[in-house]
Amino acid sequence: MPLYEYICEKDGTVLELLRSAADADKAVPDPDGKGRVFKRRLSTFAAQGGEPGVGKGGGHVHSGACCPCGKNVGSCGSRN
């Protein structure tokens, strides 16, 4: 089930809810009972961790003496 984010534009409170895609845009009840209105917002996240600039261009990163693909560093054709 997808994780959706909802924000209250009045006070900036953010909720994360697991909901079906069919329910994604349905009203979200205020968990604190204050009558706030929450709108679904676009979630953003980092899909790649590690050092900035490392592994760009295909996600192929060498770390140490062996490539994650199982071959020796340089033998798979990757430049990283």
Q: What is the pLDDT of residues 14-31, one digit of tens each?
A: 999 999 999 999 999 999
pTM: 0.54
Range(s) of the domain holding residue 7: 3-41
Note whether residue 14 is domain-resident: yes
Mean pLDDT of all residues in 24-40: 95
CA distances 56 to 16, 17, 53, 75, 78, Å, are 30, 31, 6, 19, 11
Q: Is 41 helix (H, G, I), strand (E, B) or coil?
A: strand
Note whether residue 15 is domain-resident: yes
Note whether residue 20 is domain-resident: yes
Note whether residue 31 is domain-resident: yes
Q: How confident is the model at residue 46 (pLDDT cuts 50, 70, 90)?
A: low
Note whether residue 17 is domain-resident: yes
Note whether residue 59 is domain-resident: no
- Structural domain tally of the chain? 1
**pLDDT recorded at residue 62:** 45
Note whether residue 35 is domain-resident: yes
Q: How confident is the model at residue 69 (pLDDT cuts 50, 70, 90)?
A: low
